[in-house]
Amino acid sequence: MPSLDRRRFLRGATLVAAVPLVSFLPGTPATAAPRTPPRAAPGSGAGAARAALPAPSAWTVRPFPLEDVTLGGNGVFAAKRDLMLDHGRGYDVDRLLQVFRANAGLSTRGAVAPGGWEGLDGEANGNLRGHYTGHFLTMLSQAYGSTGETAHSDRIRYMVGALTEVREALRRDPAVLSVPGRSGTAAENVRGSHQYVDLPAGVLGDSSSLTLSAWVKPTHDADWARVLDFGDDTTRYLYLAARNANGHPRFALTTSGPGGEQGVDGTAPLPLNRWSHLAVTLTGTTATLYVNGAAVGRNATTLGPAALGSLAHHWLGRSHFPADPVFAGAFDRVDIWSRALTGAEIAGLQEAPADRSAAAAGDLASYRFDETSGSTFADSSGRGLHATLRRTWDAPSHPGFLAAYPETQFITLESMTAGNYTVVWAPYYTAHKILRGLLDAYLATGDARALDLAEGMCGWMYSRLSRLPATTLQRMWGVFSSGEFGGIVEAICDLYAVTGKREHLALARLFDLDRLIDACAAGEDVLDGMHANQHIPVFTGLVRLYDETGEQRYLTAAKNFWGMVVPARMYGIGGTSTAEFWKAPGAVAATLGDTNAETCCAYNLLKLSRTLFFHEQDPAYMDYYERTLFNQVLGSRQDRPDAEKPLVTYFVGLRPGHVRDYTPKAGTTCCEGTGMESHTKYQDSVYFARPDGTALYVNLYSPTTLTWAEKGVTVTQTTDYPREQGSTITVRGRGPAAFDLLLRVPAWARDGFRVTVNGRTVKGSPLPGSYFTVSRTWRDGDTVRVSVPFRLRVEKALDDPAVQTLFYGPVNLVARDARTDYLRLGLYRNAALSGDLLPSLTPVDGEPLHYTLDGVEFAPFFEGTEDPTHAYFRRAEPRVVFGATESGVANPARPDGTTLLDEIWAAAPFRNKQALVRHVESTVDTWVGAGLLGAADGRKAVSTAKRASYAGRWR
């Protein structure tokens, strides 16, 4: 970042002040009665209409929906978007739904969960599973809005239908999932369902001998998953496990806990996805374990069934140890006898079911699992001990509950005082992603089922959170990672804008984190050491709360927060954070490493910048938007197709020689989720309009076509920006339309910004970091040409000005070089009179925006390659040189590191060579007078400046 103060960074000029006006879209001020929700027609067919999200009346400009802004088919944006659209069309969404269906005990249809953070085997046992499905729904919704392709809407409706089935299943008692068995049918408990079979008390009788028999088909190799566990607690029990710590079957019983277990182990693992028969015979002196009819272990025991007495629980598939996994797989033909069967009888069970074998059906209990519906399994022993299918976590506390894991994640958070993501990992963050995806699905397709699911989730959250004391809520939201809730407040406020239900607004306010809000509202910077992405989306939610409540502290806190991050904690590409956390303001060079600029942070800062702009049209917000979109966001997507992964970055390492990782953590992280969204909504902030239709803001130069129905016009940009230094804007319409066209003048556009209408120059003095206004009654075919000349410049790290990053116009240029120490580069050698450093670089033929310097290639950051790159370099200007002419004089420096050449070129642009020479002379005199430069060397420097020829000419 360059050395510039906050005032200069945020300055704006020639911007016509926007006056708050009532939106022509339905809006509700904070004191209004609940609005009538714009629901779609009932049903979910392809003909359902899109639903509009009302614009808050507090917004002084409004965005256009994606369907009104078409992204052009050429250029870097279209290429990146098309890669993500192809991924969205091709990915098997049943894989995303797998964890939801498993949690509800439904068939997963053979789908395999994506893995990573979206599966039971991922990081922290998959405690974030479900989040990615929400992202995918949002991505599909944006893709449908952008393209109108029914391939996207069809997938949305399929997913919404599946999630509706999931919620219905969660509302009911669990139902048997009937599958083909060893003989007849069997009952499967899919992994992740947390289901088990509860047998009645007395199932063991009072016999001194016992035989336990079961056909099992395990589908996962988790150690200590129980086939059965009969006991009171973790002290008095007997169990048969499919796998012990060595992966072998084990039977044990004890009256004194694990240390007192008397047991017998198998000698080999049970195969997965194949039927195996397990049996245990127990007499007063011996326990024998059988696998597939053969005795594999025998052990003397001093305990028998009678020693255990009457036990409280008799479970198939569940352990009394909470950390043990629930058995994943199928059960068939479970029998219990009040005697020890002979080896021959057990061997006979391999040939025929017990009731058709010499052993006969178990006299204590016998379950055939022939049921194909319901949650009760009949006992065929004649004792009437019918079993019941249950969940380990019982039933949801509210019928609106929808998640890919049990409600216990939410319940446990309520008593946590410190974060532990292996126990609870941000359940409300996951709820946010699902809620946001459902709301976006409703808005995109009008599918009323999606809105019903979203409302149900909010009803469930309100039922949990509204009963908690305020102190508990404040503690929960302050817990790192476990208490993270993402952008849930924004999503709830958007739902409230649709439904008008006051319960939804009340729910949004339950997520207030007062100490953070109050500090930022007071201008107190407390961000050092905080987790960045846990808190950035909080402030977007606060702005939306301001919209709906009018409470000023929310908006003030968000505006102040933005200024604490931009530019003080911002890297040149627009990103923020180091290893997900913030350091002290100004720490840039000191933090460069492999874990900079978490991509989610860029996504959320863009959303916050956009939302703040709706209230105050400060050009700095859109300058930031351009910087981050054109660099970090575009560069976060690898430039190759992939059907399985979205290929986007998590961290962006900014140390020298870093290679970007586009497949972090198996491809389902938060950043890959937000990445899918980022690359399907490039056009969302290109145009904004005043609510009364008197002005249109052109915030970004991008090949797009806006259909502005209220004005009866289309506005088309034809450009290859940023490969082209400008854009052509054509207005077409059925009749005259009067409005101001406000064209953003980027803060970096220091010279030559020019606007023509139908070939005639528009008078005015465009000021960098402002909007240039063209007032006109527009007629069909009017053409505006915007010229935005680029120049090469550096931005200096706030904490070490010698560490710099290179920009050409809006484009960050990175060196492609495998070295892992800082490149040392000089750029003044052939600087132009305008101050443009570009003449010091050599263009690469046929490669736009590619250059070489000292044998090193520079390329746009937005190119998604796996080349080692240097985003920052160390500036080295050892000799005084002008116009590629060497003076032979060492370049002196002040104590603060500012060199003679720095001070000379800081005054650019120069009108002509004479102006430059005069400035060189006065600067040299000052440095000689201060004893920083010898008189003879000063004369050589001035003589060189006079002899040199300079590239370009100042306009």
Per residue in 291-329, pLDDT (tens digit) is: 999 999 999 999 999 899 999 999 999 999 999 999 999
Q: What is the pLDDT of residue 665?
A: 83
pLDDT value at 1 more than 60? no
Report residue 212's pLDDT band, with 50, 70 and 90 as the boundaries: very high
Tell me the per-residue pLDDT of 813-866, one tens digit each, with 9 for 90 and over. 999 999 999 999 999 999 999 999 999 999 999 999 999 999 999 999 999 999
pLDDT value at 40 more than 90? no
Q: What is the pLDDT of residue 48?
A: 62
Question: In whole numbers, what is the pLDDT of the chain averaged over residues?
Answer: 94
Structure-token pair, residue 438: 């459902």
Q: What is the pLDDT of residue 905?
A: 97
pLDDT value at 44 more than 60? no
CA pair distance 55, 60, nearest whole angstrom: 10
CA pair distance 157, 809, nearest whole angstrom: 43
CA pair distance 99, 376, nearest whole angstrom: 24
Q: What is the pLDDT of residue 10?
A: 33
What is the rounded average pLDDT of the residues 279-284?
Answer: 94
Helix (H, G, I), strand (E, B) or coil at 539: helix
Tell me the per-residue pLDDT of 758-770, one tens digit each, with 9 for 90 and over. 999 999 999 999 9
Tell me the per-residue pLDDT of 563-608, one tens digit each, with 9 for 90 and over. 999 999 999 999 999 999 999 999 999 999 999 999 999 999 999 9
CA pair distance 654, 822, nearest whole angstrom: 11
Q: What is the pLDDT of residue 953?
A: 59
pLDDT value at 21 more than 60? no
In this structure, what is the dihedral angle of CA atoms 215, 282, 314, 309, given to the nearest 10 degrees? 170
Cα angle value 813/817/818 (rounded, 5°): 140
Q: What is the pLDDT of residue 82?
A: 97
Tell me the per-residue pLDDT of 460-477, one tens digit each, with 9 for 90 and over. 999 999 999 999 999 999
Name the strand (E) or helix (H) holding 336. Answer: strand 329-337
CA pair distance 710, 556, nearest whole angstrom: 33
Tokens 């509204």 sit on residue? 466
Q: What is the pLDDT of residue 7?
A: 30
Q: Which of 708, 602, 723 is nearest to 652 (CA)?
A: 602
The phi-psi region of residue 837 (left if phi > 0; otherwise alpha if psi is between -120 and 50; otherwise beta) is alpha
Tokens 């102040």 sit on residue? 560
Tell me the per-residue pLDDT of 479-498, one tens digit each, with 9 for 90 and over. 999 999 999 999 999 999 99
The backbone torsions φ and ψ at residue 382, rounded to the nearest 5 degrees and listed phi first, read 95, -5
Q: Which of 582, 533, 535, 540 is nearest to 559 (CA)?
A: 540
CA pair distance 721, 75, nearest whole angstrom: 8
Q: What is the pLDDT of residue 122?
A: 85
Structure-token pair, residue 261: 């277990």
Which is more confident, 26 or 146? 146
Q: What is the pLDDT of residue 49?
A: 75
pLDDT value at 952 more than 80? no
What is the rounded average pLDDT of the residues 117-128?
Answer: 91
Structure-token pair, residue 59: 């917004």
The backbone torsions φ and ψ at residue 61, rounded to the nearest 5 degrees and listed phi first, read -135, 160
Helix (H, G, I), strand (E, B) or coil at 813: strand
C-alpha separations of 934 from 148, 162, 889, 900 in Å: 70, 80, 10, 12
Report residue 50's pLDDT band, with 50, 70 and 90 as the boundaries: confident
What is the rounded average pLDDT of the residues 36-43?
Answer: 43
pLDDT value at 955 more than 70? no
Neighbouring-strand partners of residue 492? none
Q: Which of 136, 124, 128, 129 is nearest to 113 (CA)?
A: 129
CA pair distance 674, 138, nearest whole angstrom: 9
pLDDT value at 730 more than 90? yes
Q: What is the pLDDT of residue 873?
A: 98
Structure-token pair, residue 100: 């939801």
Tell me the per-residue pLDDT of 648-663, one tens digit each, with 9 for 90 and over. 999 999 999 999 999 9
What is the rounded average pLDDT of the residues 906-933?
Answer: 97
Strands (E), 449-574: none
H-type helices in 206-342, by residue range? 305-308
Domains and CATH numbers, the chain: 34-62+76-173+399-469 (no CATH), 177-391 (2.60.120.200), 686-787 (2.60.40.1180), 884-955 (no CATH)
CA pair distance 729, 786, nearest whole angstrom: 8
Q: What is the pLDDT of residue 436?
A: 98
pLDDT value at 910 more than 90? yes
Report residue 951's pLDDT band, with 50, 70 and 90 as the boundaries: confident
Contact 157, 447 (CB under 8 A): yes
Tell me the per-residue pLDDT of 597-650, one tens digit each, with 9 for 90 and over. 999 999 999 999 999 999 999 999 999 999 999 999 999 999 999 999 999 999
pLDDT value at 29 more than 70? no
